[in-house]
Structure 1
């Protein structure tokens, strides 16, 4: 039986998009080019700060959700992740493979972190893989919540079997 899987996203991308929209709305009107430039510079700094806070918030939410799983067992060593691939939509994807070493059918929740070339966290998602038969493996796809550019790496931050 094939495992069913879902991807759940911690939505840092949504916060970033809203912050950008709000910041750019304030640029324009009767401002001089210098005023507009100063406002844009300020907006970029504000957006970067809000994006960082959104990533931290998303990570905390992912950790909380994994902690809330009743009867969950840490199985990070039973999970592998493939190389990240950027799609034509700008989203980065990695194949996640879970291996059920238990003697009964189990489900998995896997937190996948997306990191830039400097190791900075730029996104995080939770992928669920349901009903993996005993002794079997199943795959799912982790997909970034927003466009990512540059050299992106993915890693399994946590994995819980339940």
Structure 2
């Protein structure tokens, strides 16, 4: 019978043997003594999957950072207009955004001024996917809209967006 002190080395030897056996089965040789195609392909696929996951995580982080930055910038622009009137119901978009040559989403914004003097508008446009997820936000100004008139401007996303993108007026201020 072995003493308790001998069990540790025995277990270590058995574990090492299991690892060597597993490694040998994963790197089984073909007739030409090179690593088997299956093991090599599996290792290569695992490496590609890890690389793709890393790139996806990086892109998601960058997109989140861009969205946070755009949202903060929109807030700063609206903070400049302390005495503006809420005018969200006076501003409309075409709804579906189109991609420009850089892949950025664009949409026509129309401000309709119901007052008796020329006014300017600051408009926050949100770009969302078909699931309603916020992809980007931007602020556009529509200057000098004539009394009882309307004027168009173009809102453009801060970065390239893919897929079906809808654009909505998140908020608007007339001043």
Fold match by TM threshold 0.5: yes
Residue in structure 1 matched with residue 9 of structure 2 by the alignment: none
Q: Please state how far the C-alpha of 1:97 moved relative to its aligned partner.
A: 0.4
Q: Which has the higher contact order (CA 8 A, sep 6+)?
A: 1
Mapped pair 1:109 → 2:144: no
Once the two structures are superposed, residues 96-129 of structure 1 have per-residue CA deviations (whole angstroms, 9 ceiling, x without a partner) of 0001122221111101111011111111111111
Structure 1: runs of 5+ lacking an equivalent? 1-31
Residue in structure 1 matched with residue 138 of structure 2 by the alignment: 125
Q: Per the alignment, in what secondary structure is the counterpart of residue 83 of structure 2? A: coil
Spell out the pairing of 1:1-162 with structure 2 (5 A cutoff).
37-83=49-95, 84-162=97-175
Q: Quote the Cα distance in structure 2 between the aligned partners of 1:67 and 1:74.
A: 13
List, as ranges, runs of 4+ consecutive aligned residues in structure 1 with deviation greater than 4 Å.
Answer: 32-37
Q: Quote the Cα distance in structure 1 between the aligned partners of 2:165 and 2:47.
A: 35
Q: Is the 8 A contact 2:70 2:158 kept in 1?
A: no
Aligned length: 131
Q: Quote the Cα distance in structure 2 between the aligned partners of 1:129 and 1:88.
A: 23
TM-score, structure 1 as length reference:
0.71
- CA-based RMSD: 2.0
Q: Quote the Cα distance in structure 2 between the aligned partners of 1:149 and 1:47.
A: 13
Residue in structure 2 matched with residue 14 of structure 1 by the alignment: none
Q: Please state how far the C-alpha of 1:43 moved relative to its aligned partner.
A: 3.3
Q: Quote the Cα distance in structure 2 between the aligned partners of 1:109 and 1:64.
A: 12
Q: Please state how far the C-alpha of 1:70 moved relative to its aligned partner.
A: 3.4
The range that moved more, 67-76 or 108-117, is 67-76
Once the two structures are superposed, residues 11-53 of structure 1 have per-residue CA deviations (whole angstroms, 9 ceiling, x without a partner) of xxxxxxxxxxxxxxxxxxxxx9555653442232132023113
TM-score, structure 2 as length reference:
0.67
Structure 2: runs of 5+ lacking an equivalent? 1-42
Higher-Rg structure is: 2
Q: Per the alignment, in what secondary structure is the counterpart of residue 171 of structure 2? A: strand
